[in-house]
């Protein structure tokens, strides 16, 4: 058997889970703020079985964003993104992420911050203000079934 055949056979033996090692969505999202256009990186993941929400949405604050911050427009972004991608915003964990990519000239070793938000709906159907919690990278990795890195 050639080396190529062995490599193909080895790949076939890998667990199927590796096929899904990418986010469902990984894109630049642009929205119109009050004065300037905002932009952030958006990644959408399914949560692992047994989690009380169906999705995790990671919004990365980018240094190139001259518009409103992602947390300033959190409720708006949750409504827009959930409509665009076809899910209920109350069924997702919303993770707002800052790192070296968030600041011009930052060192790659800069610390990072993760804020998790959850939303609910009022009796009138309006999306609530977010409930915030500081979480760790390990928490995000757990919520994304180790797909986030």
Residue 9 belongs to a domain: no
Is 13 inside any structural domain? no
Residue with tokens 């009796």: 123
Q: How many other C-beta atoms can be found within 10 angstroms of the C-beta atom of residue 104?
A: 7
| Strand ranges (E), 37-91 | 37-46, 55-61
3-state secondary structure of 98: strand
CB–CB of 112/99 below 8 Å? Answer: yes
- Domains of the chain: total: 1
What is d(CA 149, CA 138) in angstroms, rounded to the nearest whole number? 10
Beta bridge partners of 27: 42
Is residue 89 in some structural domain? yes
Tell me: the pLDDT tens digits for 46-103? 999 999 999 999 999 999 999 999 999 999 999 999 999 999 999 999 999 999 999 9
Whether residue 3 has pLDDT greater than 50: no
Q: Which domain holds residue 139?
A: 21-143
């Amino acid at each position: 058997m050639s080396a190529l055949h062995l490599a193909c056979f080895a790949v076939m033996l890998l667990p199927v889970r590796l096929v899904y090692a990418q986010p469902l969505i990984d894109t630049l999202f642009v929205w119109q703020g009050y004065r300037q256009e905002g932009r952030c990186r958006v990644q959408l993941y399914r949560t692992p079985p047994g989690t009380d929400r169906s999705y995790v949405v990671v919004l990365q604050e980018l240094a190139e964003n001259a518009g409103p911050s992602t947390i300033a427009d959190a409720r708006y972004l949750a409504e827009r993104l959930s409509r665009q991608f076809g899910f209920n915003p109350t069924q997702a964990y919303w993770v707002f992420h800052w790192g070296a990519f968030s600041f011009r000239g930052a060192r790659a070793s800069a610390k990072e911050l993760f804020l998790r938000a959850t939303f609910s709906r009022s009796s009138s159907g309006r999306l609530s203000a977010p409930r915030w919690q500081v979480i760790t990278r390990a928490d995000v990795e757990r919520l994304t079934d180790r797909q986030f890195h």
